[in-house]
């Protein structure tokens, strides 16, 4: 309670300074003095981001004044640089012993031992770093970190105002803007389009951070929320998104988020703490961003984009200016360029004119990408500096399949693109025509194509794609959508619905793969240093067996009278599988004793995604009823390369001799013991990688719905015998990537990839 009132008082003083006279530099100087006094710190310094990712000391209380505008640190350099790089706060009682500490003699900071710093964030971008330091080895509390973060919000407005650093400084040198350029990214939705660039900039500048009248702010907030909810309802009623499909579930979840009480509660609390409604909305968003930014789980990252979308929308309603682009003012055909977008933001635009989307962020499971897929709009994500490099009105080509964006293409490139767009329309018709044909190669080898899913929306694709079943049902996704841990009855109802919708087709349920970075809102979070290799999946399940028991009980109940296929993730030791299977048997027994109808058959599988299992394949095959190879994790662990780290994207190729060798051993071990082996990682859904898997001998592939058509087209144009022969000597080639060889092979033999 006391903490709130202290920071509230300071907030008022800061407001007065912000509204007061003098230059931005004067105001900043005063602000660091106020903070130092309030935080009882000998030092308070503010670093501001300049061009070239340089953090410059702009103001300080306590360090030597001559260091101001002289001390500069690269992002990632020193503790200040580390805070900017991670966009997270840092508090150290003994900063100098930290590995990242970078000593700058001009500052005279050698006498200060403890340090607490927070990023100055705005719209997800780090604009600077705010630091306090003390002589003693002081342990800063969570409340103090929180208070400094709130103050950093005030500074964010100053930093973003353009009064400290000219915003033009961050842009490209003049002249380069006019040249054609090719930017690479990540494919979020395939397809090819051309159009004029339009920048999606829904964010509003917050003018006032501290409230004059908290009651009035709460009223404004309530009205804006009501108006927003009505507007969202109207938006989601549009006819082209009304039909069923994956996108529909995402939009419904989005609508649910807009009414989420937890979100509202946090905003209301922030208003009660002294902020304006706008600042409170922004603060809650920043807090969420910090919490979620480090997560590698694509699904959770997408929740963040949903929230950002809602935040922008709520801000617009607070400002009384809901975003509504006027169709007549839009170019005939345009490509949206944005940092990121939520699923509903895209619906604000006229779909007959919106031809493609370029994002600086985004992941393949991006909700905006799912909605774009439903509307057949190509999307390329993770395009670095897209917003800085594109001028509104530029002609842009977006090539989703190549994950590339071409800015200001020449006339002949534009012509070639037009021709290809026409050819692609023909190819689409070809996939549709394949739907009823089997995934069988030219030499008669059948491959079973299965779907990956985790939400109800994935199930209609079983029919649409004629997939043979669900090869991987990621159960954790349903858990993540909820506020509380679902009861056995709730889980059973859910799994039952999944099985009902799948009809005769088998569904392989994977038990909860949570923990590490995939946190459930209602589970105690633990800060794992290395989440992918941390306390996750089967490790949590065996340490907290009640959770696993309940899930297995629900699965058994849901599958009564049917086949139950369940698999356990991240097995790193066969005893883990044995223990999990024993729990399954226990639950079956319990169900039997209760006199309930059991599943007609139960199959227990193991996910192979930890490299150590490669040296115990026969024993593994002896124990499991089936194996599913999670190449996403397996490959990241084989290369020791974090799968979620964009800096490592594309650095190592799974189509390399060692990975193919390992996969070959798995498929051979399965065949030797007659155990079915499926691949359910992303490799299975990429035509060229799937081709290599088929060549190795894999006959079951589980993938995203959109991959079924392309993978089937590949298989139907392939001669497996010739491929296997070709691959015979390939794995001995000392090369980091065999991709080129596979591509040549496919091209020479007319294989559709
Ligand atoms: C995998 O690791 O390949 C896999 C399918 O599981 P997930 O992507 O959910 O970790
Ligand atoms: Mg995995």
Asked if residue 297 has its Cβ within 6 Å of ligand 1, the reply is: no
Nearest CA to ligand 1 atom 9: 474
Q: In the prediction, which pLDDT does 253 show?
A: 80
Asked if residue 510 has its Cβ within 6 Å of ligand 1, the reply is: no
Q: Characterize 359-382 residue by residue with b for buried, 16 or more Cβ atoms within 10 angstroms of its Cβ, and e for exposed.
A: bbbbbbbbbbbbbbbbeebbbbbb
**pLDDT > 90 fraction of the chain, expressed in percent and rounded:** 50
Which of the 8 DSSP states describes residue 348? G
In tens, the pLDDT along 154-173 reads 888 888 877 888 766 654 44
Band (pLDDT 50/70/90 cuts) for residue 752 is very high
Give the atom of ligand 1 at the shortest distance from the alpha carbon of 474: 9
Nearest bound ligand to CA 300?
1
| Alpha-carbon span 624 to 675, nearest angstrom | 8
In tens, the pLDDT along 373-397 reads 878 899 999 999 898 888 888 899 9
User: Going by C-beta distance under 8 Å and a sequence separation of 6 or more, which residues neighbour residue 86?
Assistant: 119, 294
Q: Which of 30-39, 361-370, 631-640 has the lowest mean pLDDT?
A: 361-370
* Helix spans in 117-243 (H): 142-160, 214-236, 239-242
Q: Which of 187-191, 654-658, 712-716 has the lowest mean pLDDT?
A: 187-191
Asked if residue 680 has its Cβ within 6 Å of ligand 1, the reply is: yes
Among 407, 409, 399, CA closest to 177: 407
Nearest CA to ligand 1 atom 4: 630
In tens, the pLDDT along 328-384 reads 677 889 999 998 888 788 888 888 899 999 999 887 767 788 788 878 899 999 999
Among 571, 565, 567, 602, CA closest to 586: 602
CA of 158 to the centre of ligand 2 (A): 43
**pLDDT > 70 fraction of the chain, expressed in percent and rounded:** 91
pLDDT above 60: residue 692? yes
Nearest bound ligand to CA 631?
1
pLDDT above 50: residue 485? yes
Asked if residue 681 has its Cβ within 6 Å of ligand 1, the reply is: yes
Higher pLDDT pick, 241 / 710: 710
pLDDT above 70: residue 567? yes
Higher pLDDT pick, 319 / 323: 319
Q: In the prediction, which pLDDT does 483 show?
A: 64
User: Going by C-beta distance under 8 Å and a sequence separation of 6 or more, which residues neighbour residue 259?
Assistant: 229
SS (H, E, C) 451-509: EEECCHHHCHHHHHHCCCCEEEEECHHHHHCCCCCCCHHHHHHHHHHHHHHHCCCCEEE
Span 659-667, mean pLDDT?
A: 97
Burial class (CB in 10 A: 0-12, 13-18, 19+), 734: exposed
Task: Write the CA distances from 166 to 48, 74, 75, 126, 398, integer angstroms.
Answer: 12, 19, 19, 16, 31
Q: Active-site residues: which are they?
A: 367, 680
Asked if residue 630 has its Cβ within 6 Å of ligand 1, the reply is: yes
Q: In the prediction, which pLDDT does 172 show?
A: 42
CA of 605 to the centre of ligand 2 (A): 14
Q: Which of 220-224, 461-465, 577-581, 604-608 has the lowest mean pLDDT?
A: 461-465
Coil, strand or helix at 211: coil
- How many residues in the chain? 753
Question: What is the best residue among 458, 680, 690 to mutate for testing ligand 1's pocket, by most ligand atoms within 8 Å of CB?
Answer: 680
Nearest CA to ligand 1 atom 6: 630
Coil, strand or helix at 334: strand
CA of 352 to the centre of ligand 1 (A): 36
Taken in order of first residue, the domains within the chain and their CATH numbers are 2-164 (3.30.450.40), 179-202+328-415 (3.50.30.10), 214-318 (1.10.274.10), 435-748 (3.20.20.60)
Asked if residue 609 has its Cβ within 6 Å of ligand 1, the reply is: yes
CA of 149 to the centre of ligand 1 (A): 35
Asked if residue 685 has its Cβ within 6 Å of ligand 1, the reply is: no
Q: In the prediction, which pLDDT does 237 show?
A: 83
Among 626, 713, 700, CA closest to 469: 700
Q: In the prediction, which pLDDT does 517 show?
A: 60
CA of 194 to the centre of ligand 2 (A): 36
In tens, the pLDDT along 46-68 reads 999 988 788 999 999 999 999 99
Question: What is the best residue among 471, 631, 632, 704 to mutate for testing ligand 1's pocket, by most ligand atoms within 8 Å of CB?
Answer: 632
Nearest bound ligand to CA 571?
2
Q: In the prediction, which pLDDT does 2 show?
A: 44
Asked if residue 247 has its Cβ within 6 Å of ligand 1, the reply is: no
pLDDT above 70: residue 583? yes
Task: Write the CA distances from 262 to 52, 269, 483, integer angstroms.
Answer: 39, 11, 9
In tens, the pLDDT along 238-269 reads 877 777 767 787 788 888 878 888 888 999 99
Band (pLDDT 50/70/90 cuts) for residue 299 is low
Asked if residue 632 has its Cβ within 6 Å of ligand 1, the reply is: yes
Phi, psi of 48 (to 5 degrees): -120, 140
Coil, strand or helix at 353: coil
Q: In the prediction, which pLDDT does 176 show?
A: 41
Q: Which of 15-24, 494-503, 669-678, 698-707 has the lowest mean pLDDT?
A: 15-24
Band (pLDDT 50/70/90 cuts) for residue 100 is confident
Band (pLDDT 50/70/90 cuts) for residue 693 is very high
Q: In the prediction, which pLDDT does 173 show?
A: 43
Helix (H) or strand (E) holding 661: helix 657-673
pLDDT above 90: residue 325? no
Give the atom of ligand 1 at the shortest distance from the alpha carbon of 513: 9
CA of 611 to the centre of ligand 1 (A): 14
Band (pLDDT 50/70/90 cuts) for residue 177 is very low
């Amino acid at each position: 309670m006391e903490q709130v009132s202290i920071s509230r008082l300071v907030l008022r003083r800061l407001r007065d300074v912000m509204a007061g006279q003098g230059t931005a530099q004067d105001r900043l100087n005063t602000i660091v003095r106020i903070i130092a006094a309030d935080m009882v710190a000998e030092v308070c310094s503010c670093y501001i981001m300049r061009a070239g990712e340089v953090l410059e000391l702009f103001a300080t209380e306590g360090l030597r004044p001559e260091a101001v505008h002289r001390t500069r640190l690269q992002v990632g350099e020193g503790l200040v640089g580390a805070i900017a790089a991670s966009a997270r706060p840092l508090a150290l009682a003994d900063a100098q012993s930290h590995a990242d500490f970078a000593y700058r003699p001009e500052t005279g900071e050698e006498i200060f031992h403890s340090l607490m710093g927070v990023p100055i964030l705005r719209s997800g971008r780090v604009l600077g770093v705010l630091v306090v330091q003390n002589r003693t080895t002081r342990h800063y509390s969570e409340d103090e970190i929180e208070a400094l973060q709130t103050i950093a919000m005030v500074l964010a407005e100053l930093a973003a105002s353009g009064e400290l650093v000219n915003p033009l400084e961050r842009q490209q040198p003049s002249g380069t803007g006019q040249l054609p350029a090719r930017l690479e990214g990540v494919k979020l939705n395939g397809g090819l389009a051309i159009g004029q660039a339009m920048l999606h900039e829904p964010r509003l500048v917050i003018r006032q951070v501290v409230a004059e009248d908290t009651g009035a702010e709460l009223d404004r907030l309530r009205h804006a929320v009501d108006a927003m909810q009505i507007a969202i309802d109207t938006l989601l009623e549009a006819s082209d998104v009304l039909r069923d499909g994956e996108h529909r579930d995402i939009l419904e979840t989005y609508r649910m988020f807009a009414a989420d009480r937890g979100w509202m509660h946090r905003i209301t609390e922030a208003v009660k703490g002294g902020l304006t409604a706008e600042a409170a909305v922004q603060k809650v968003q920043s807090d969420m961003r910090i919490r979620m930014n480090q997560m590698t789980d694509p699904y959770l990252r997408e929740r963040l984009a949903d929230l950002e979308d809602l935040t922008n929308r709520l801000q617009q309603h607070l400002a009384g200016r809901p975003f509504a682009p006027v169709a007549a003012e839009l170019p005939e055909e345009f490509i949206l360029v944005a940092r990121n977008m939520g699923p509903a933001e895209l619906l604000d635009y006229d779909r007959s004119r919106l031809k493609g989307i370029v994002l600086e962020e985004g992941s393949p499971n991006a909700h905006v990408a799912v909605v774009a897929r439903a509307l057949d709009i190509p999307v390329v994500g993770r395009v670095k500096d897209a917003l800085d490099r594109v001028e509104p009105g530029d002609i842009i080509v977006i090539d989703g399949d190549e994950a590339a964006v071409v800015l200001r293409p020449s006339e002949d490139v534009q012509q070639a693109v037009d021709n290809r767009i026409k050819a692609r329309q023909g190819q689409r018709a070809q996939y549709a025509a394949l739907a009823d044909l089997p995934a069988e190669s030219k030499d008669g080898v059948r491959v079973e194509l299965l779907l990956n899913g985790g939400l109800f929306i994935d199930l209609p694709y079983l029919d649409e794609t004629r997939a043979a079943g669900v090869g991987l049902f990621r159960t954790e996704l349903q858990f993540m959508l909820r506020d509380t841990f679902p009861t056995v009855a709730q889980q059973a109802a859910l799994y039952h619905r999944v099985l009902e919708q799948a009809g005769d087709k088998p569904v392989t349920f994977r038990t909860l793969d949570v923990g590490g970075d995939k946190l459930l809102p209602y589970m105690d979070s633990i800060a794992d240093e290395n989440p992918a290799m941390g306390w996750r999946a089967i490790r949590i399940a065996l340490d907290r067996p009640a959770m696993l028991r309940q899930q297995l009980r629900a699965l058994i109940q849901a599958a009564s009278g049917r086949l139950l296929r369940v698999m356990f993730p991240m097995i790193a030791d066969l005893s883990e599988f044995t223990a999990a299977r024993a729990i399954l048997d226990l639950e079956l027994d319990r169900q039997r004793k209760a006199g309930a109808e059991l599943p007609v058959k139960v199959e227990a599988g193991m996910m192979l995604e930890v490299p150590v299992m490669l040296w115990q394949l026969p024993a593994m095959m002896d124990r499991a009823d089936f194996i599913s190879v999670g190449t996403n994790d397996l490959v990241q662990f084989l290369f020791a390369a974090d799968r979620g780290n964009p800096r490592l994207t594309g650095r190592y190729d799974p189509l390399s001799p060692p990975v193919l060798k390992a996969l070959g051993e798995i498929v051979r071990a399965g065949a030797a013991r007659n155990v079915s082996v499926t691949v359910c990682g992303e490799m299975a859904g990429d035509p060229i990688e799937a081709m290599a898997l088929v060549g190795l001998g894999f006959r079951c592939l589980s993938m995203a719905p959109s991959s079924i058509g392309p993978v089937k087209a590949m298989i139907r144009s392939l001669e497996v015998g010739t491929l296997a022969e070709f691959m015979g000597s390939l794995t001995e080639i000392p090369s980091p990537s065999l991709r080129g060889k596979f591509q040549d092979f496919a091209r020479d033999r007319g294989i559709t990839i």
